[in-house]
Chain A
Amino acid sequence: GEDVEQSLFLSVREGDSSVINCTYTDSSSTYLYWYKQEPGAGLQLLTYIFSNMDMKQDQRLTVLLNKKDKHLSLRIADTQTGDSAIYFCAESDEDNQGGKLIFGQGTELSVKP
């Protein structure tokens, strides 16, 4: 079955870059997603990448996709304390019916001043 794997924790200093990694199994997923969850809140879509792209940049966020290795990463430049949150990567369910997503376990990013 499909599986999405992430490391659980990442700690960085304010101003450094953060890189959150994810591996997935379904090579047919058309889009791959990054969601952000702030404490006590629901998830918010942060960014997504189309599967035929290698990279997508959006202000401080850079998404890299290596389809051969089924590896997705999210880089946050100049990380701020407000970036402290849990970050989830997600892929489309293999049958893509109804827009189902398979989420990773989430990476808790802690930004120290």
Chain B
Amino acid sequence: NAGVTQTPKFQVLKTGQSMTLQCAQDMNHNSMYWYRQDPGMGLRLIYYSASEGTTDKGEVPNGYNVSRLNKREFSLRLESAAPSQTSVYFCASSLQTGDLYEQYFGPGTRLTVT
């Protein structure tokens, strides 16, 4: 199993450019998540998808859109990148056992917006 994969690993964008971050999991998990990580701020949830066909906003959704393409894939789109979106982005999926959710993370995408 590859687990959770993300592409690209690194990206530099100019302000106003758009891009899509790709995420896929091969563990048959229902729930998937997009986080951003900034120094001293921990991980903040951007969007999540509790199951195929549903998406919901997290703590910091402004400037982002998502698509749950199928059970495996969950993409994050920046329509018009801004310097404030410079961050490390993590995708995760979770295995549910009752109320226990074990989240599995991808390796991250390091995005710089100039």
CA distance A26 to B40 in the complex (A): 21
Contact B31 A42 (CB under 8 A): no
Least Cβ–Cβ distance between A98 and chain B, in angstroms: 3
Least Cβ–Cβ distance between A72 and chain B, in angstroms: 15
Q: Which A58-110 residues sit within 8 Å CB-CB of chain B? A: 88, 92, 96-101, 103-106
A-B contact pairs, 22 of them (CB 8 A): A4-B42, A35-B103, A42-B4, A42-B92, A42-B105, A42-B106, A42-B108, A43-B43, A43-B105, A44-B105, A45-B104, A48-B102, A98-B50, A99-B103, A100-B33, A100-B45, A101-B45, A101-B101, A104-B42, A105-B40, A105-B41, A105-B42
Q: Which B70-111 residues sit within 8 Å CB-CB of chain A? A: 90, 92, 94, 96, 99-108
What is the interface residue range for chain A against chain B?
Answer: 20 to 34
> Given B49, B90, B96, B101, which contacts A43 in the complex, CB threshold below 8 Å?
B90
Contact B96 A8 (CB under 8 A): no
**Total contacts A to B, CB within 8 angstroms?**
64
Least Cβ–Cβ distance between B54 and chain A, in angstroms: 8
Mask, A20-33, CB within 8 Å of B = 1, is 00000000001100
With A41-B107, A42-B90, A88-B43 already in contact, the answer to whether A98 and B99 are too (CB < 8 A) is no
B58 on the A face (CB < 8 A): yes
Contact A100 B58 (CB under 8 A): yes
Contact B42 A106 (CB under 8 A): yes
CA distance A44 to B104 in the complex (A): 7
With A45-B103, A92-B101, A97-B50 already in contact, the answer to whether A103 and B43 are too (CB < 8 A) is yes
